Amino acid sequence: MTAMERYTGTPKLMVPAFGLGVVGLVLTAVGFFMNPQATSFSYLLGFTYWVGISVAALIMLAIFHTAKAKWLIVLRRAMETMAVAVPIFAVLFLAFIPMMKHLYPWVDGSPLAANIHGIEVEHLAHKKHGYLNLTFFAVRQVIYFAVWIFVSQRLYGWSTKQDDAGGLDLTVKQRRFSPGALPFLALTVTFASFDWMMSLTPLWQSTIFGVYYFAGSFLAAFCVLTVATVNAQGKDLYGSLVTPAHFHNLGKLIFAFTAFWAYIAFSQFLLVWIANIPEEAPWYGLRMFGSWRSMSIALFFLHFVLPFFTLLSRSLKVQPRKLAVVAVYMLLIHAVDLYWLIWPAYSGEAGPTFHWTLITAWVGVGGISVGYALFRARGRYTLPVKDPYIAESLRYVQP
């Protein structure tokens, strides 16, 4: 491996990211005073999009250590950088405090509470009050972020310490710590999806909704990793050391999670549709009939059929630039998928609508999180230079 220097944090990337983030959040704040409900839903979409990618990268990192995979080591620092951005989301989550009553019908004083009416419906809502109340909601958020921050900082700290100390001991610590962390990561991201998105419609429930959110976020995390790797070219950047074999594996993982997302989406739909329970069926009824129908059908073809058949090509997966184009496309479709999950709770039977804060919130949260990740990467190597298996990773070829 050629000699590398530490990453200095190029201003041409970090400063524009922070700048866009600040501008986006300021405009979103302005939008909140103009239309608090639409802006709240926009911010929720932007937040769940970016925090999902960061937490998915953390879970991916833990799985990588648990499996003792070696081919991914050259990409590991990029994954760690994505995961170590979690603390900024704890700060960005504070913006939900004034937004809660504009998002969730179960919050006292919410204008959406009128959606819960009728004796039976009110009774069902009351039965969930022990879980859906602001005090317990706040406690759960503290637990989620505490777990994510602790695990991400622990793994990142050991990894960067190894850049100076070298040796096998720190690798062993990461591999022993990760299997124990995985159940907590899986449970927290599952319940976070329940709290943030499923409780927008408090009478609806799905036991695999967390897996649906996780599948889409995991797919998006691999896409971000691919785009970052393709563009990490130049002095002291790891991208020039990544081989076509690594990109082939990234392409296969994007392909695999495209299929996995479709499998989970269909499984959830089938179970709810067959059961036809009055509290559950209307969630899909709203999306399958009327003005949301076209978008639901389009999502099936654009999120699954088109990328599935595109990624069947082996030659595409070993061409970094072409694979990056597919990855960018999938990142856009992931945003559409979250819109399909979240926005019907706001617009209802009016169908897909647009509010300009959808853009500002997405750019705002994304800009701040990307800028913070680049800030955390400053003064570090862009790959684990003293990992005992780094040479083996650089020599990786397809088995």
Give the tens place of pLDDT for each residue, 350-360. 889 999 999 99
Considering the chain, what percentage of its residues have pLDDT values greater than 90? 77
Of 112-121, 185-194, 282-291, 308-317, the one with minimum mean pLDDT is 112-121
pTM over 0.85: yes
Maximum Cα–Cα distance across the chain: 71
Give buried/exposed letters for 27-37 (b at 16+ CB in 10 A, else e). bbbebbeeebb
Of the listed ranges 114-118, 292-296, 389-393, the least confidently predicted one is 114-118
Express each pLDDT in 270-297 by its tens digit: 999 898 888 788 899 999 988 999 999 9
Of 121-125, 242-246, 378-382, the poorest mean pLDDT is in 121-125
pLDDT at 303 over 80: yes
93 belongs to a structural domain: yes
Q: What angle do CA 347, 144, 88 make, to 5 degrees?
A: 80
Q: Which domain holds residue 251?
A: 11-394
According to the model, what pLDDT value does residue 120 have? Answer: 46
The C-alpha atoms of residue 266 and residue 148 are separated, in whole angstroms, by 29
Closest CA to 55 of 147, 128, 127, 132: 147
d(CA 373, CA 14): 9
Please check whether residue 5 lies inside any domain of the structure. Answer: no
Q: Output Rg (C-alpha) for the chain, integer angstroms.
A: 21
Q: Which two three-digit tokens encode residue 85?
A: 């951005």
Instruction: Find the length of the chain.
Output: 399
- Report the domain count for the chain: 1
- For the stretch 328-345, pLDDT in tens is 999 999 999 999 999 999
* Residue 114: pLDDT band with limits 50, 70, 90: low
Answer positive or negative: Cα dihedral of 220, 223, 227, 229: positive
Q: Is the pLDDT of residue 112 over 80?
A: no
pLDDT band with cut points at 50, 70 and 90 for residue 119:
very low
Using the structure block, give the residue that is written with the tokens 């099936």. 300
Q: Is residue 383 part of a domain?
A: yes
* 164, part of any domain: yes
Average pLDDT over residues 161-187: 94
- Percent of the chain clearing pLDDT 70 (strictly above): 94
Q: Is residue 1 in a domain?
A: no
Number of H helices, E strands in the chain: 18, 0
**Does residue 3 belong to any structural domain of this protein?**
no
Beta carbons within 8 Å of 46's beta carbon, 6+ residues apart: 358, 361, 362, 363, 364, 365, 366
